[in-house]
Amino acid sequence: MKKFFYSQKAAPYVFVLPFVLTVLLFWLGPIIKGINLSFQDVMKDQWVGLGNYQRLLTDKIFWKAVSNSVKYCILTLVLLIPFPLLFAVLLNSHLMKHSNIFKSIYFLPALTSVVVAGTVFRLMFGEASESLLNQVIGLFGHAPIKWLKSQGTAYFALLTLCCWRWTGVNIMYFLAGIQSIPADLYEAAEIDGASKWQQFKSITIPLVKPTTIYVLTISIYAGLAMFLESFMLWRGNNSPNNIGLTIVGYLYRQGIEKRAMGYACAVGIVLLIFVMIVNFIQLKLNGTFSKEER
């Protein structure tokens, strides 16, 4: 047995084994169980076949949740891809003094509990005139706004919370990618007379592409799977006219609040398939599966 574990051929499999077991026990197993439950009415212990999926097609609240999640995902991608990249370039610049301090400040929100952050932001965006945002707009003579009761301002609150929490994380990803680029390339470009913008466009953006694809992939997943931020911002899963309801929030409503576990599993399976399709398409478009990228 000792000879087996010290074998160079066996070592890779031994190191990978914990990950494989984790995937099988906590990912693949629940998915198979969820697929099975999605064809049942768990409360009545009946097999309903495609009944749960057919119900989804005509469920207006489900499609409202899908619409909310897709909009949220797109808006977060617009904000959390280009701006963290620009901030990372600035932090990596020699002109940036005390960059380590700024790195710590940017990353600090990621260490904050979503529960705490959501509670603080709910108070900030409260409808009372004493809330922080209403005090700010009050300085310009604007009447208090019910931030969390209309679609536009509610999305503004959600996106503000999202950007505050995750901008620093994406900056760290992009900063790691930028620092892996050989400095010789920038020096050669500078000797050839390339401006900083030309260096950014022709060197930084192409060579940081693997990092961009990774950040894009996890951001799509995070955007479509968002739940806790919305739950804390509205102090529950029942926002006015479902303006903050997400796909995962709807899954929680059906599975936990209404105990329609079979229907909730159908929602979860649809979400899983949707996320996988969207990420597969973007990875395909980015050339991840092409022979040139291998």
Quote the pLDDT of residue 98.
79
> Which letter does DSSP use for residue 109 in this model?
G
- For position 231, what pLDDT does the model report? 93
Evaluate whether 73 touches 220 at the Cβ level (below 8 Å): yes
Q: Cα angle vertex 162, ends 156, 165, to 5°?
A: 140
CA atoms within 13 A on the CB side of 113: 5
How far apart, in whole angstroms, are the C-alpha atoms of residue 153 and residue 159? Answer: 10
pLDDT of residue 95: 76
User: Two tokens at 101?
Assistant: 């301090």
Pairing status of strand 40-41 against strand 46-47: antiparallel
pLDDT of residue 29: 86
- Backbone phi and psi for residue 194, each to the nearest 5 degrees, phi listed first: -75, 135
Model pLDDT, residue 25: 85
The alpha carbon of 78 is separated from its chain's Cα centroid by a whole number of angstroms, namely: 12
At residue 24's C-alpha, the angle toward residues 23 and 30, to 5°, is: 95
Q: What is the torsional sign of CA 234, 240, 244, 248?
A: positive
* pLDDT on residue 22: 87
Angle, alpha carbons 239-242-243 (nearest 5°): 85
Residue with tokens 């936990």: 256
Instruction: Give the per-residue pLDDT at 81.
Output: 93
The amino acid that residue 248 corresponds to is V
Cβ distance 207 to 181 under 8 Å? yes
Domains of the chain (ranges; CATH) run: 54-292 (1.10.3720.10)
CB 245, CB 64: distance < 8 Å: yes
Per-residue pLDDT 10s for the chain (294 aa) are: 666 656 777 777 778 888 888 888 888 888 999 999 999 988 888 898 999 999 999 999 999 999 999 999 999 999 999 999 999 998 888 777 777 888 888 888 988 899 999 999 999 999 888 899 999 999 998 899 999 999 889 999 999 999 999 999 999 999 999 999 998 898 898 888 888 889 999 999 999 999 999 999 999 999 999 999 999 999 888 899 999 999 999 999 999 998 899 999 999 999 999 999 998 998 888 877 765 444
Q: How far is Cα 39 from Cα 48, in angstroms, rounded to an integer?
A: 6
Cβ-proximal residues to 165 (8 Å cutoff; 6+ apart), any chain: 109, 110, 112, 114, 117, 229
DSSP 230-242: HHHHTTSS--GGG
pLDDT of residue 293: 46
In degrees, rounded to 5, the angle at the alpha carbon of residue 191 between the alpha carbons of residues 190 and 195 is 30
| pLDDT value of residue 3 | 66
Contact by Cβ (8 Å): 263, 52 = yes
The predicted structure's pLDDT at residue 294: 44
